[in-house]
Copies of this chain bind each other. A is one copy, B any other.
Protein backbone atom coordinates (compact mmCIF):
# COMPACT_ATOMS: atom_id res chain seq x y z
CA UNK A 1 0.00 0.00 0.00
CA UNK A 2 1.23 3.40 -0.95
CA UNK A 3 1.29 5.94 1.79
CA UNK A 4 -0.18 9.31 0.96
CA UNK A 5 2.33 12.07 0.43
CA UNK A 6 3.13 14.12 3.48
CA UNK A 7 0.20 16.43 4.18
CA UNK A 8 2.55 19.25 4.92
CA UNK A 9 4.05 19.04 1.46
CA UNK A 10 0.75 18.59 -0.30
CA UNK A 11 -0.73 21.70 1.25
CA UNK A 12 2.38 23.81 1.02
CA UNK A 13 1.69 25.31 -2.38
CA UNK A 14 -2.01 25.81 -1.84
CA UNK A 15 -3.34 29.20 -0.84
CA UNK A 16 -4.61 29.23 2.64
CA UNK A 17 -8.38 29.24 2.71
CA UNK A 18 -10.49 31.29 5.05
CA UNK A 19 -11.53 29.31 8.14
CA UNK A 20 -15.08 29.24 6.93
CA UNK A 21 -14.21 27.98 3.50
CA UNK A 22 -11.88 25.38 4.89
CA UNK A 23 -14.58 24.17 7.21
CA UNK A 24 -16.98 23.86 4.33
CA UNK A 25 -14.36 22.01 2.33
CA UNK A 26 -14.02 19.55 5.19
CA UNK A 27 -17.74 19.00 5.42
CA UNK A 28 -18.03 18.52 1.68
CA UNK A 29 -15.27 15.94 1.52
CA UNK A 30 -16.53 14.28 4.67
CA UNK A 31 -19.90 13.90 2.97
CA UNK A 32 -18.29 12.05 0.10
CA UNK A 33 -16.27 9.96 2.48
CA UNK A 34 -19.16 8.94 4.73
CA UNK A 35 -21.42 8.27 1.78
CA UNK A 36 -18.95 5.62 0.67
CA UNK A 37 -17.79 4.19 3.98
CA UNK A 38 -20.85 4.72 6.11
CA UNK A 39 -20.79 6.71 9.29
CA UNK A 40 -18.61 4.09 10.92
CA UNK A 41 -15.78 5.15 8.65
CA UNK A 42 -12.74 6.10 10.70
CA UNK A 43 -11.61 9.67 11.31
CA UNK A 44 -8.08 8.67 10.36
CA UNK A 45 -9.16 7.47 6.93
CA UNK A 46 -11.20 10.60 6.49
CA UNK A 47 -8.27 12.81 7.46
CA UNK A 48 -6.02 10.99 5.03
CA UNK A 49 -8.48 11.68 2.24
CA UNK A 50 -8.52 15.33 3.22
CA UNK A 51 -4.74 15.40 3.09
CA UNK A 52 -4.39 16.37 6.74
CA UNK A 53 -3.79 14.62 10.02
CA UNK A 54 -6.56 13.25 12.15
CA UNK A 55 -6.37 15.55 15.18
CA UNK A 56 -6.89 18.55 12.95
CA UNK A 57 -10.48 17.52 12.45
CA UNK A 58 -11.06 18.15 16.13
CA UNK A 59 -9.99 21.74 15.75
CA UNK A 60 -12.86 22.31 13.34
CA UNK A 61 -15.44 20.01 14.89
CA UNK A 62 -15.81 19.21 18.59
CA UNK A 63 -16.54 15.57 17.86
CA UNK A 64 -17.13 13.15 15.03
CA UNK A 65 -20.83 13.31 15.75
CA UNK A 66 -20.92 17.06 15.26
CA UNK A 67 -19.19 16.69 11.93
CA UNK A 68 -21.74 14.09 10.93
CA UNK A 69 -24.58 16.37 11.91
CA UNK A 70 -23.25 19.05 9.62
CA UNK A 71 -23.03 16.49 6.87
CA UNK A 72 -26.69 15.71 7.34
CA UNK A 73 -27.63 19.33 7.30
CA UNK A 74 -25.88 20.16 4.07
CA UNK A 75 -27.04 17.01 2.32
CA UNK A 76 -30.68 17.33 3.29
CA UNK A 77 -31.06 21.05 2.85
CA UNK A 78 -28.91 21.48 -0.22
CA UNK A 79 -31.25 20.23 -2.93
CA UNK A 80 -34.46 21.74 -1.68
CA UNK A 81 -34.23 25.46 -2.26
CA UNK A 82 -35.26 25.60 -5.90
CA UNK A 83 -38.63 27.00 -6.99
CA UNK A 84 -40.26 23.62 -7.27
CA UNK A 85 -43.35 24.49 -5.32
CA UNK A 86 -44.20 27.25 -7.75
CA UNK A 87 -43.46 25.02 -10.70
CA UNK A 88 -45.87 22.40 -9.43
CA UNK A 89 -48.73 24.80 -8.82
CA UNK A 90 -48.40 26.99 -11.93
CA UNK A 91 -51.78 26.31 -13.50
CA UNK A 92 -50.97 28.24 -16.63
CA UNK A 93 -49.18 25.14 -17.82
CA UNK A 94 -50.53 21.62 -18.41
CA UNK A 95 -50.25 19.42 -15.32
CA UNK A 96 -48.41 16.64 -17.04
CA UNK A 97 -45.80 19.03 -18.33
CA UNK A 98 -45.29 20.49 -14.87
CA UNK A 99 -44.90 17.07 -13.31
CA UNK A 100 -42.48 15.87 -15.93
CA UNK A 101 -40.33 18.94 -15.49
CA UNK A 102 -40.51 18.78 -11.73
CA UNK A 103 -39.50 15.15 -11.46
CA UNK A 104 -36.76 15.71 -14.00
CA UNK A 105 -35.33 18.48 -11.83
CA UNK A 106 -35.93 16.72 -8.54
CA UNK A 107 -34.20 13.54 -9.64
CA UNK A 108 -31.37 15.56 -11.13
CA UNK A 109 -30.81 16.84 -7.61
CA UNK A 110 -31.05 13.65 -5.57
CA UNK A 111 -30.10 10.86 -7.96
CA UNK A 112 -26.48 10.75 -6.99
CA UNK A 113 -24.62 7.99 -5.26
CA UNK A 114 -23.67 10.44 -2.56
CA UNK A 115 -27.14 11.71 -1.72
CA UNK A 116 -28.93 8.39 -1.88
CA UNK A 117 -26.39 6.56 0.23
CA UNK A 118 -26.35 9.21 2.94
CA UNK A 119 -30.13 9.12 2.91
CA UNK A 120 -30.25 5.42 3.65
CA UNK A 121 -27.38 5.39 6.10
CA UNK A 122 -29.25 8.02 8.05
CA UNK A 123 -32.51 6.14 7.68
CA UNK A 124 -31.07 2.92 9.04
CA UNK A 125 -29.76 4.83 12.03
CA UNK A 126 -33.35 5.79 12.78
CA UNK A 127 -32.67 9.51 12.94
CA UNK A 128 -35.49 11.99 13.14
CA UNK A 129 -34.08 13.92 10.23
CA UNK A 130 -35.27 11.19 7.94
CA UNK A 131 -38.85 11.27 9.10
CA UNK A 132 -38.63 15.01 8.84
CA UNK A 133 -37.59 14.71 5.21
CA UNK A 134 -40.48 12.39 4.47
CA UNK A 135 -42.78 14.97 5.97
CA UNK A 136 -41.29 17.63 3.75
CA UNK A 137 -41.83 15.47 0.69
CA UNK A 138 -45.45 15.01 1.65
CA UNK A 139 -46.00 18.70 2.33
CA UNK A 140 -44.06 20.26 -0.48
CA UNK A 141 -44.51 17.70 -3.22
CA UNK A 142 -47.16 15.06 -2.78
CA UNK A 143 -49.87 17.27 -1.30
CA UNK A 144 -49.38 19.59 -4.24
CA UNK A 145 -49.49 16.77 -6.72
CA UNK A 146 -52.74 15.50 -5.28
CA UNK A 147 -54.28 18.95 -5.18
CA UNK A 148 -53.41 19.57 -8.81
CA UNK A 149 -54.69 16.18 -9.83
CA UNK A 150 -57.98 16.81 -8.07
CA UNK A 151 -58.25 20.17 -9.77
CA UNK A 152 -57.53 18.61 -13.14
CA UNK A 153 -60.22 16.02 -12.52
CA UNK A 154 -62.76 18.62 -11.57
CA UNK A 155 -63.02 17.52 -7.97
CA UNK A 156 -63.71 20.08 -5.23
CA UNK A 157 -60.89 21.78 -3.35
CA UNK A 158 -60.06 20.39 0.06
CA UNK A 159 -57.68 21.39 2.82
CA UNK A 160 -55.27 18.52 2.46
CA UNK A 161 -55.08 15.20 0.66
CA UNK A 162 -56.85 12.20 2.16
CA UNK A 163 -54.65 9.40 3.43
CA UNK A 164 -55.40 7.14 0.45
CA UNK A 165 -54.76 9.96 -1.98
CA UNK A 166 -51.45 10.67 -0.32
CA UNK A 167 -50.59 7.02 -0.36
CA UNK A 168 -51.30 6.89 -4.04
CA UNK A 169 -49.03 9.83 -4.69
CA UNK A 170 -46.40 7.92 -2.73
CA UNK A 171 -46.69 5.08 -5.20
CA UNK A 172 -45.76 7.48 -7.98
CA UNK A 173 -42.98 9.08 -5.96
CA UNK A 174 -41.58 5.72 -4.88
CA UNK A 175 -41.78 4.26 -8.33
CA UNK A 176 -39.57 7.03 -9.63
CA UNK A 177 -37.37 7.22 -6.54
CA UNK A 178 -36.55 3.55 -6.49
CA UNK A 179 -35.30 3.77 -10.04
CA UNK A 180 -32.49 5.91 -8.64
CA UNK A 181 -31.93 3.50 -5.78
CA UNK A 182 -31.51 0.61 -8.16
CA UNK A 183 -29.13 2.56 -10.33
CA UNK A 184 -26.95 4.35 -7.80
CA UNK A 185 -27.08 2.23 -4.66
CA UNK A 186 -27.45 -1.28 -5.99
CA UNK A 187 -25.68 -0.37 -9.22
CA UNK A 188 -28.02 -2.66 -11.03
CA UNK A 189 -28.51 -2.29 -14.78
CA UNK A 190 -31.50 -0.09 -15.55
CA UNK A 191 -33.14 1.50 -18.55
CA UNK A 192 -30.82 4.43 -19.08
CA UNK A 193 -33.38 6.90 -20.35
CA UNK A 194 -34.54 8.55 -17.15
CA UNK A 195 -36.83 10.90 -19.02
CA UNK A 196 -38.80 7.98 -20.35
CA UNK A 197 -39.02 6.26 -16.99
CA UNK A 198 -40.54 9.40 -15.51
CA UNK A 199 -42.77 9.87 -18.51
CA UNK A 200 -44.16 6.35 -18.31
CA UNK A 201 -44.65 6.56 -14.56
CA UNK A 202 -46.58 9.79 -15.03
CA UNK A 203 -48.70 8.37 -17.83
CA UNK A 204 -49.68 5.45 -15.68
CA UNK A 205 -50.30 7.55 -12.62
CA UNK A 206 -52.32 10.27 -14.28
CA UNK A 207 -54.46 7.87 -16.23
CA UNK A 208 -55.07 5.73 -13.20
CA UNK A 209 -55.67 8.61 -10.82
CA UNK A 210 -58.25 10.18 -13.02
CA UNK A 211 -60.10 6.97 -13.57
CA UNK A 212 -60.09 5.84 -9.98
CA UNK A 213 -60.65 9.03 -8.06
CA UNK A 214 -62.65 11.06 -10.51
CA UNK A 215 -64.91 8.29 -11.66
CA UNK A 216 -65.80 6.88 -8.28
CA UNK A 217 -65.64 10.10 -6.31
CA UNK A 218 -63.17 8.77 -3.77
CA UNK A 219 -60.46 6.21 -3.35
CA UNK A 220 -62.09 4.12 -0.67
CA UNK A 221 -65.17 3.38 -2.66
CA UNK A 222 -63.14 2.82 -5.77
CA UNK A 223 -60.78 0.42 -4.09
CA UNK A 224 -63.56 -1.57 -2.56
CA UNK A 225 -65.49 -1.70 -5.78
CA UNK A 226 -62.69 -2.90 -8.01
CA UNK A 227 -61.31 -5.31 -5.46
CA UNK A 228 -64.66 -6.58 -4.36
CA UNK A 229 -64.41 -9.91 -6.08
CA UNK A 230 -61.07 -10.81 -4.59
CA UNK A 231 -61.01 -13.64 -2.11
CA UNK A 232 -58.38 -13.01 0.50
CA UNK A 233 -57.31 -15.44 3.17
Contact = CB atoms under 8 A, between A and B. Distances in A.
Interface of A: 38, 40, 94, 96-97, 100-101, 104, 117, 120-121, 123-124, 126, 130-131, 134-135, 163-164, 166-168, 170-179, 181-182, 185-188, 190-191, 195-197, 199-201, 203-205, 207-209, 211-212, 219-220, 222-223, 226-227, 229-232
Given A208-B205, A212-B203, A212-B207, A166 B185 contact: no
A131 B187 contact: yes
A57 to B, nearest CB: 20
A190 B204 contact: no
Interface residues of chain A: helix, strand, loop or mixed (majority): helix
A186 B123 contact: yes
A229 B94 contact: yes
